[in-house]
Amino acid sequence: MIGFQILQRRRAVDTATAERFKQLPVANVSDNMARMYSGGAHLRPMHNGKPMSGPAITVRCRPGDNLLVHKALEVASAGDVIVVDAGGDLTNAIIGEIMVAYAKKRGLAGIVINGAIRDSEEIGRGDFPVFAAGVTHRGPYKDGPGEINVTVSLNGMTIEPGDLIIGDSDGILCVPFDMTTEVYQHTVKKHADEGKTLAEIDADRYDPSWVDARLRSLGCPL
């Protein structure tokens, strides 16, 4: 039944790929995806900033209702990231301390909520990755409907079950399943190049002449 269904995930990014991406800044990955993909700047880390990386278990739920999120905690495997499209509504919290504790106990890699959480102080002291759009003390309902392992969209960023979800202090990003190898290779080079630039700045060898060259190419008088 559309709107009330639990589907099987047909594919998922492997553990080794998820671990490799965990070593790279989300900003560098984003640069190598043409800066075109984002789950929205309001999806912020609610934990202590530990990086997150893992394949998505997707959930679409009615705003303010977390019945299918509870089921997703059972469906998910160790290393998975539960991604919840709750419509961005902040009226009722979708998860709190108890659900986070259970997710951590089951070995999940993180939770993303396009909606609100509660127990923010307790979650904030912990290292289990939780990204959300806001905080409210008002709890959720458990009536459904909802869907698990369907395509979801967080503020225009489409996520398929099994896609790679990464997050750090700058926010979250989805790397599509079929793009992980290419994006990783380009991001490793980007990260290394930025390391060289930082070393040049530290050694007083940084050359900013590219700025004027760029301005001239755009027709800006200097």
Q: Return binding residues for Mg(2+).
A: 119
Residue 87 backbone zone (phi > 0: left; psi -120 to 50: alpha; other: beta):
left
CB 74 within 8 A of CB 151: no
> Which residues fall in the annotated binding site for substrate?
96-99, 118
> Which residues fall in the annotated binding site?
96-99, 118-119
DSSP assignment of 78-129 equals: TT-EEEEE-TT--SSEEE-HHHHHHHHHTT--EEEEEEEES-HHHHHHS-S-
